Chains A and B, each alone.
Chain A
Amino acid sequence: MDLLFDSVASAFVLLWSFDRELLEIVLVSLNVSFFATLIASIVGIPGGFVIAYSTFPGKRLVLTCLNTLLALPTVVIGLLVYSFISRKGLFGSFDLLYTQKAIIIGQVILIVPVIMTLTIAAVSRIDDRYRMTALTLGADIYQMAWVVLREARYGILAAVIAAFGRVIAEVGISMMLGGNAKGFTRTMTTAMALEYDKGEFVLAVALGITLMSLAFLINMLFHFFQGRTESEAV
């Protein structure tokens, strides 16, 4: 018990002192998670909308595949991407291995199914009269899509937040594709794993506290914007 209390106390001291190493790790984590979520959103939100709103043969199969991909272990993605970007891989010449870009690629693969399935669920819940009303008022399909996505914004925002939460907390991809290089590809989760291996709990606990605080902050922001949007019209 003492170990935990001592570690937490020391972690707060470390956080309060704005330790340079800790800040670097947090920034790397935020950087890769932000870009991974951004790219996955650009792909996943329109993709989810198109799947939700179109009928095509094999749609059920696509949905089943997407749901299956939700359970894809990060180490499997790590291995898959590694096989492509390692020196002998198809994209070996791009020197991506052990860079932040490699982590981002892996994380995008991890969360595109998350954003897509949650977008499909969010859009499917939207009353079809929004689509009909937009079209009869003269909207083209892009304007209609915008109307539907706007009405489904909280569900979609929740999808993006869930995806961000997934990438910032994952360790397998970051470790296998990033290599945990200090100052370059060391993220909060890989640093925590390393510190645990070393038996150094202070930095690990400090990073854990940071991670939890970030999750709390993101949820606060989500609720703030939700309340604001609802009250914007008198």
Chain B
Amino acid sequence: MKLYKLENIKRIHGNRTVLDIEDLEIAAGKIYTLIGPNGAGKTTLLKILSFLDSPSQGRMHFMGEEVLCGEKHLYGFRKRVVLLDQSPIMFTGSVWKNIEFGLKVRNIREDEKGRRIREVLDLVGMARFKDYNARGLSGGETKRIALARALVLQPEVLLCDEPTANVDAENQEIILDIIEQINKEQKTSVIFSTHYLSQGQRLADHSLLLQRGSLSEMANENIFRITVAGYEGDKTLCQLTGQLIIKIPKEALPLDKSFAKVHIDPYLLTFEPGCEKRTDGNVVRGHVTDISQESGSVRLGVDVGVKMVLIFPMEQYLLEKPSLGQKLNIFIPDQALGFSSFESSLSSSRK
């Protein structure tokens, strides 16, 4: 079942196109991560998916139904999805009143309201905070209450804009656990944006990579099919498309290796001329085949037996200034490796 179908969607602010998606399909009941740097268009896309913003052009379908512009039409769709803001804001009043808001506007019965609020407060582990002033909570607590305020509505889709940004590690874990739990137990579709590929690896069925408003082709460039070539201690030796062998921690590999693909995050790769042996990742040697600049970053194409792309800040490039044909050692840290299937979500976006 297709949850969303977007065709030629563009969002234009002034004379700037902030989002340009040719074709995207999102399946129901899954967890999607939206990965990309700041200003890539993640929040804009989430606002369009949550019907809080309308695209400047293009067509969009939600559960097979065409989404038309106009407040009356969008209002109906909005009741089925909830967007959790990156920095959620609490209304004046207690935690209970905040969570109650969405139920009140839906005219839910008093006893049902009470039951659902208590349940969701237990779920986020904030039951004892129910009478607290919602504005007096810490950042992590506010995020959990905002999550409770969204979940109490039992939405078909939960959209989260960087739900773990600016919260401590403990609260990050709690929030991710809850997202995973509601997806598994209630079959709620989840789409969340994040800077951390590791969160995508842990939770997501699919990852979408956004760059400068477009679903990036780059996502395909660093995706390689893995063939297990052997074992060495606690590492698995994997061949990338038959050309290059890298070591991957055994526990990181998915169980079903027949479909295993690895995505190497181009933002986490570094080139270190003196780097030879590392225990926290792989070092591969190759030569520069391509250098290009894009909005403050430099994109480096390197042939290491397979073509690999590195993206790093301009400052780092100016320090080292690698030139075409130069030989480099590329360090691939373990946390740059992801095992999610990009194929289904991105194949449709290929031009």
Q: Is the beta-carbon distance between A137 and B133 smaller than 8 angstroms?
A: no
A141 lies within 8 A of B71 (CB): yes
B52 at the interface (CB under 8 A from A): yes
A130 at the A/B interface (Cβ < 8 Å)? yes
**What's the minimum C-beta distance from A46 to chain B, rounded to whole angstroms?**
17
| Interchain CB contact (< 8 A) of B89 among A127, A139, A233, A234 | A127
Q: Which of the segments B77-85, B223-231, B256-264 contacts the partner chain?
A: B77-85
On whether the beta carbons of A133 and B92 are closer than 8 Å, the reply is no
Q: Is B120 an interface residue (CB 8 A)?
A: no
Residue among A133, A137, A140, A143 with the highest chain B CB neighbour number at 10 A: A137
Given contacts A133-B88, A147-B91, contact A234 B101 (CB under 8 A): no
> Assuming the A-B contacts A129-B85, A234-B132, are A139 and B105 also in contact, with contact meaning beta carbons closer than 8 angstroms in the complex?
yes
- Given contacts A234-B131, A234-B132, A136 and B83 within 8 Å (CB-CB): yes
Q: How many angstroms from the CA of A139 to the CA of B101 in the assembled complex?
A: 9
B94 touching A233, Cβ below 8 Å = yes
Complex formed: what's the CA distance from A180 to B14 in Å? Answer: 57
| Bound form: Cα–Cα A139–B106 in Å | 8
The answer to the question of B242 belonging to the interface, with a C-beta cut-off of 8 Å to chain A, is no
Question: Which residue among B82, B83, B105 has the maximum number of chain A CB atoms within 10 Å of its CB?
Answer: B105
Chain A residue nearest to B97 (CB atoms) is A233
Q: Mark A132-149, 1 if CB is under 8 A from B, else 0.
A: 111111111101000100
Interface bits A222-234 vs B (CB < 8 Å: 1, else 0)? 0000000100111
Residues of B within 8 A of A87 (CB): none
A130 B106 Cβ-Cβ under 8 A: no
Asked if A125 CB lies within 8 Å of chain B CBs, one says: no
Q: Judge whether B78 and A136 touch: CB under 8 Å.
A: yes
A141-B71, A233-B134, A234-B133 given; A136·B92 CB < 8 A? no
Whether B102 contacts A137 by the Cβ 8 Å rule is yes
The answer to whether the Cβ of A150 comes within 8 Å of any Cβ in the partner chain is: yes
Q: Which residues of A contact B254 (CB under 8 A)?
A: none
How far apart are the CA atoms of A127 and B85 in the complex, in Å? 13
- Beyond A134-B101, A233-B135, 18 additional contacts (C-beta under 8 Å) are A129-B88, A130-B89, A132-B85, A133-B85, A136-B82, A137-B82, A137-B101, A137-B102, A137-B150, A138-B105, A141-B75, A143-B105, A150-B92, A151-B91, A229-B92, A233-B94, A233-B131, A234-B94
| 11 residue pairs from A and B, CB less than 8 Å apart | A133-B91, A136-B52, A136-B81, A136-B82, A137-B105, A138-B78, A139-B105, A150-B92, A229-B92, A232-B93, A234-B132
Which residue numbers of A lie inside 8 Å of B, CB to CB? 127, 129-130, 132-141, 143, 147, 150-151, 229, 232-234
